[in-house]
Amino acid sequence: MRLLCMCVLLLALSCSTPKEKAPNNDNTTEQKAKEKPPVSTVDNYKNQLIAVLSNPKKVETAKALITNTGLKWKNMILDDTTSKIVAIEIPDGNVDEWLKRLSNNEEFRVIKINSAETQEELINKEKNNLISLRKTKCFGDCPTYTLFIDKDGNVSYKGKEYVLEKGTKEFKLTEEELSNINTLLTKKDFSSFKDVYDNPKIMDLPSTFIIYNGKQIQIRLWNDDVPEELMELNEYIEGILLEKKFFE
């Protein structure tokens, strides 16, 4: 009888002993996730350049140049009417060499090594652009340069040929200068201007490209067909650069 009582007591004690909990799989998974290092995005841009096209209306020309040189036109990063930014893949991995080679090409006005930070910088700059002006070369000594003015009056000038100041120069417009430019830009609806003012029969003429408010205008022949508002705008901006002695 005593033996029977002891067995019952032991059985009761074993049943009341708390069982060890099974490991929480969710907690284990969460812990592993914390221990796992974050995935780096650097490799996403490995062997890539990022380029801003000089003429957003000539995407196919720029694309042909890239593919014909054995590079890969990867994807458009910004595809607005007046601004195109593209990622270019360098299959041979020689990024620095291609950076130098493409920097001298007229199809691109900006070439940099691609990264998330560079993409953000270029996109923000393009979206904050007020007006851009680009002068192309001719057979003679025509000043060749590009100019960008943002909405805050910051100016980025890049002199190329037949100018006193080559390379990139940056400065800020005075409040009066920025106000005058805005007045000239809004003097007449920009969309009412033609896309091109030209006489294709005349060969040796440089082009002036003006981009404002989603429209690009090419002026190759400055004659009576060119609206007075565009002439005033061009002369005013050139006057600022002449005062700074960027060219003669």
pLDDT in tens, 141-153: 999 999 999 999 9
Cβ neighbours of residue 133 under 8 Å, at least 6 residues apart? 146, 147, 208, 209, 210, 211, 234, 237
Which single residue is written with the structure tokens 């002006």? 133
Closest CA to 125 of 97, 156, 98, 159: 156
Which single residue is written with the structure tokens 């910004």? 78
Torsions phi, psi for 206 (to 5 deg): -75, 165
DSSP lists the bridge partners of residue 110 as 52
Q: Does domain 44-126 have CATH number 3.40.50.300?
A: no
Domain boundaries, the chain: 44-126, 128-243
The predicted model scores a pTM of 0.75
Q: Does domain 128-243 have CATH number 3.30.70?
A: no
Q: Which residues of 201-237 are buried (b: 16+ CB within 10 A; e: fewer)?
A: eeeebebbbbbbeeebbbbbeeeeebbebbeebbeeb
Q: What tens digit of pLDDT does each residue of 119-169 get?
A: 999 999 999 999 999 999 998 899 999 999 999 999 999 999 999 999 999
